[in-house]
Amino acid sequence: MKIGCFFDDYRPLHEMKDPGQIILGFWDLGIQAEMLTEPKPELESYQASFPIKFVIRKQACDVRHWHTVSYDVIIVYSWLSRHYLPVISAMKEAGSIVLAKGDTDGRKGFPVISRDFYYKGNNIWGKMYKTAIKRSPAFVRDLILRLYGRRQVAYLIEHIHLTDKVIVESPQAWANLAYICLYWKKPELIKKISIVPNPVANDIIDSLILTKQKQIVAIGRWDEVWPKNTITMAKVVCRLLMIRPDYEVVIIGSGKDIVQKLISKRLLQKSDRLCLLGPVPHNEVVDYLKRAQILFIPSNWEGFSIAAAEAVCMGCTIVGTPLESLHFLTQGGFSGTLASDFTEDALLGALLVDITKWESGIYDPQEISLFWRSRLHRRKIAERLLRLVE
């Protein structure tokens, strides 16, 4: 069997994330697998742990190309977007089994509208748009949502029809898609939707669990202000440090300057309990997760969150917003605490509750890590993907 993983935005850093780990999981099983991506300067001399083949979009939409390379199975990171429909169609016409990787919360159409429908940026037009939606009568909002959602559903239905399987990463994301299919009278499509979480790297799986310290880590692309809820994150961190000065907070990721400005506005005096870093290498992230009790994820949107999966495999708990993937990764309180909503007060309350659970001895890092490592090992995920095509 020959398997291709089509991820057109692949970059070197993704080798330790799920696209690369899925391929390595197949190699662990003795199955030939390759990364298929668009050419990029940083990949020209890059030596990965697996073969990388370049495919430009024009080739990807041409059935003759897929006849030439002859993959038995192709996993396509499509995010259930209409832009990948020509690619999937060409792959199917060439005779490949196609699994569409959603990396989604399942909110792809009415009546389960994506939260970012209400967010159109921070510019003046975005603010006017949000204000208009908020102040519109209920029947107008409902009409807008239906018209927008019906258009999205048309692409979603075509996506599921074309592929052999659609993969989502959490049970709640599956429930969202299933509800959309039922609502639009397409129940037969539900059987084509499967739940397979993303794997984590073996260095996480094999790491020792150290004694946990009073440390909270926040990891994100903080320059993506709305999706990562950066402003709320900064407010919560400042308030937490004033309430619990015995805790240390480490903030990792891009957008360091943005976070620094937000923090300096709210923190009355410089604190040696706050460590603000930019992007750091993967091995350093692992070192921080070894010591930390909590990973703080205040995001407005996440498809799955590899950082969260890595954290629970390291025996950390998750404190975050009530997103579909975080419901899955916290398991009803077994490995974390979710806020009731996306607000500053709710997130601060969830952090304080989770700290109390640590102090009360409710959490066992070894138990948490063993539970998740057995489920998120790349070999286990590769086996689950193979069962979908048998």
> What's the token pair of residue 178?
């299933």
Note the helical H segments in the chain: 18-28, 57-60, 63-69, 85-93, 124-135, 138-162, 171-183, 202-205, 225-228, 230-243, 256-266, 282-291, 306-313, 324-330, 344-359, 365-376, 378-389
Q: Cα(99)–Cα(4) distance, rounded to whole angstroms?
A: 10
Length of the chain: 390
For residue 206, what are the contacts with CB-CB under 8 A and spacing of at least 6?
Answer: none
Domain 2-199+377-389 has CATH 3.40.50.2000: yes
256 falls in which pLDDT band (50, 70, 90)?
very high
Per-residue model confidence as pLDDT tens digits over 325-356: 999 999 999 999 999 999 999 999 999 999 99
CA-to-CA distance for 243 and 332, rounded, in angstroms?
26
Question: Is the CATH number of domain 202-375 3.40.50.2000?
Answer: yes
Give pLDDT tens digits for 292-319: 999 999 999 999 999 999 999 999 999 9
What does the pLDDT look like over 161-200, one tens digit per residue? 999 999 999 999 999 999 999 999 999 999 999 999 999 9
Gap between the Cα atoms of 323 and 346, Å rounded: 14
Average pLDDT, the chain: 92
Q: Would you say 310 and 291 are in contact if contact means Cβ atoms under 8 Å apart?
A: no
d(CA 251, CA 270): 15
Look at residue 134 in the predicted model and tell me its pLDDT: 64
Q: Report whether 203 contacts 235 (CB < 8 A).
A: no
Residues 6+ apart with CB under 8 A from 156: 80, 108, 109, 177, 180
Residues of the chain within CATH 3.40.50.2000 domain(s) are: 2-199+377-389, 202-375
CA–chain centroid gap for 78, Å, is 14
375: buried, middle or exposed (CB in 10 Å: 19+, 13-18, 0-12)? middle
Specify the 3-state DSSP secondary structure of 377: strand
- Coil, strand or helix: which one is 271? coil
